[in-house]
Amino acid sequence: MTASLEQLRRCHFAVDLGAARTRVFVKGAGLIVDQPSVAAVNTKTGALIAVGEFAEKMTGRTPHYIRVVRPVSGGTVVDIEMAQRMLRQLLGDKVRRTLRRKPRLRAAACTPHDSDPLAQRATVETLVGLGARRVELVDTLIAAGVGCGLPVERPEATMIMVCGAAATQVAVLSLGSIVTAERIPVGGEAIDHAIVQHLRHHHELMLPSQSVRPLQLALSGNGLTSQGPTSTEIHGRDVATGLARSVQVDTAAVRDAIQTPLTAVLDGIGKVLRVCPPDLVADLVDRGIMMVGGSALLPGLDQMLRQATGMPVHIAERPDVCAVLGLGAMLEGRIEPLVLDSTAG
């Protein structure tokens, strides 16, 4: 990333384009957009029918001429034109007019750790299409660390885990920079997929896509641990007959299905700790891991990490919006000057 704190203070708005949700922070107004990164398009006319929550509710329920698309995948914009149209609709005419009045409109955006130049260029072009004359890029790990209140500018280790929809990023931060980091291609979507496949193979039941998260919550407050109800009733469609059917699902079996993709996350944490300087690892024994991102709220995930690593695990107060709030804090100059180089490198 090339942005400095001084450059970020000149920006007028910040965007966090995530695979699951899009968030926009406007300087002086705060967080004004927090919606799913989804758009519904009429394939006959090309017209945009809906965006955000309403478009997400249409998933799997539309006639053949309406297509529900996700222009962002894995933190990377895969359809620039559709991402621009979605953002325009989410911002609304009033906000767009206000931003257009700014002389030399500047924007800031989060990008995943180690994202390639093509992915960064796609993010920049998306915001340039909204009228931005200049776009500053900030590593998601740094932005999330600032947003959840970690003392990233101090000469001491802080460990952060950004649990996204498509990937999980783990890093050790010190002196406003990333000391070591790992990006694991396993996120909330992989866990959802594991649950769906388990029900299909063991119960011959097809689960509607919008029913996966309620199932996770039904596993109770410690859904990935041995506590909670022994079974829960699930409604879906029978694979063979196509008829609606309800089954009693053993929560222990679902927990086992979820453990498989999470093993990769534990391996990633181990890699980061193995290459981290010993002095910084010693700091982490007391401070532990800070979890941010929408998937950090997965029931019992923090407890599972605590048992596997033996380190304290904390969930940020508002884990899903930490990255964009961190960008907002940089825009509004609420960060110590020592973080000046935190986005360089």
Name the nearest CA neighbour of 107 among 119, 115, 99.
99
- How many Cβ atoms from other residues are within 10 Å of residue 61's Cβ? 10
171: helix, strand or coil: strand
296 is known to lie in a ligand binding site = yes
Give the chain's end-to-end CA distance (angstroms, integer).
Answer: 6
The span from the CA of 161 to the CA of 170, in Å, is: 4
- How many Cβ atoms from other residues are within 10 Å of residue 221's Cβ? 11
Name the nearest CA neighbour of 226 among 285, 303, 158.
303
Q: What single string gives the DSSP state of each residue in 109-176?
A: EEE-TT--HHHHHHHHHHHHTTT-SEEEEEEHHHHHHHHTT--TTSSS-EEEEEE-SS-EEEEEEETT
The span from the CA of 274 to the CA of 289, in Å, is: 15
190 is known to lie in a ligand binding site = no
The span from the CA of 121 to the CA of 46, in Å, is: 25
Contact 186, 168 (CB under 8 A): yes
* Beta-sheet pairing, 39-42 with 231-238: unpaired
Query: Which structure tokens are listed for 20?
Result: 């699951």
Among all chains, which residue has been given the structure tokens 């996770």?
Answer: 216
147 is known to lie in a ligand binding site = no
Helix runs in 276-335, H state only: 278-287, 301-309, 322-331
The span from the CA of 225 to the CA of 131, in Å, is: 48
H or E element: which one contains 295? none
Q: Which residues contact 113 (CB under 8 A, 6 or more apart)?
A: 139, 140, 141, 169, 171, 178, 181, 183
66: helix, strand or coil: strand
Q: Which residues are annotated as a binding site for ATP?
A: 294-297
Annotated binding site: 294-297
